[in-house]
Homo-oligomer: A and B are copies of this chain.
Amino acid sequence: MFKFGSEINDNDDEVIPNRSKKQMAIAERHRELLLIAKDIISAEGFHGFTMDKLASASGYSKGTIYNHFASKEDVIVTISCEALKTLAQMYKKAYQFEGGSRDKVVALHVAYRIFSRLEPVLFMCVLTSKTPWVVEKSTAENIEKQNLAEEKLVEIADKFILDAIDGEDLTLAATASTDAYIFANWAVAFGSNALLNNATNSQCIQRIEDPYSVLYNVNIVLDGMNWQPLSSRRDYKKVWREVEQTIFADETAYLAQIGR
């Protein structure tokens, strides 16, 4: 269920008009290729991913691959797009968590943390796909799609903030927007996860070695926003564990199993 790709295209966002059989077949293969590409990238990184590997792994010729993707970079942007959609699904699940507004936002961060551990390479793909030389070699259409996928994510995140304001757990500073609050959460979450996943040989990070280190950072940020109830008045470790064991039980079990 949690495997990226299983949900490719089972959301709907593009309205599908009556497509010919042929077009359906092409769309089907597009998904197939994406899945294979994702496996290669996950296993060998963007560096180890080649169009020849994708061709031979899929059984199609290089020309056909290039009918689907404008370039190697175009593949990564498409993959990143799918990654964002997967993340959106997880965010929606997090929103379902029963609890106060701050509990829910903790659930959001659990979702992000789990995603970054399940798919560390895809997690970084989202950033890679924004670097200038990837953007340049990709199609404008795909870049636009990626922006839309990201905006959708922001929309979901917005709900968490608005709910908190509604419930009077959070008061927006006079000068601040919900975007500013989303950005703060995004920055600390992205930074924490990126560093934990990539800077593993850093002494500083090795010394911490605590499964809840993302939570600590999140607590600091939410306390700094004065998002009620403060971490001094509620045990968010327990909330974190509960989220892991309920709505993301499958993913958590899988991660434990593969020891990551």
A interface residue numbers (CB < 8 A to B): 44-45, 47-48, 124, 127, 130-135, 143, 147, 150-151, 154, 176-177, 179-180, 182-184, 186-192, 194-195, 198-199, 201-205, 207-208, 210, 213, 216-217, 219-225
Least Cβ–Cβ distance between A81 and chain B, in angstroms: 13
Nearest 5 interchain pairs by C-beta: A191-B191, A224-B224, A187-B191, A220-B224, A223-B224
What are 17 pairs between A and B in contact, CB < 8 Å?
A45-B132, A127-B198, A151-B203, A154-B203, A180-B208, A180-B210, A180-B216, A182-B204, A183-B192, A183-B195, A187-B191, A188-B221, A190-B194, A190-B195, A191-B191, A223-B224, A224-B225
Inter-chain contacts of A204 with B (CB < 8 A): 150-151, 154, 179, 182-183, 186
Of B143, B179, B190, which is within 8 A of A208 by CB? B179
CB distance from A171 to the nearest CB of B (A): 12
Please give the count of copies of this chain that the complex contains.
2
Residue of B nearest to A157 (CB): B204
Q: Please, how many angstroms separate the alpha-carbon atoms of A95 and B132 in the complex? A: 34
Q: Is the CB of B217 within 8 A of A187?
A: yes
Nearest CB of B to A131, in Å: 6
Q: How far is the CB of A49 from chain B (nearest CB, A)?
A: 10
A189 to B202, CA, bound (A): 17
Partner among B48, B127, B183 whose Cβ is within 8 Å of the Cβ of A205: B183
Please, which residue of chain B has its CB at the minimum distance from the CB of A220?
Answer: B224
CB distance from A150 to the nearest CB of B (A): 6
**Are A199 and B44 within 8 A (Cβ)?**
no
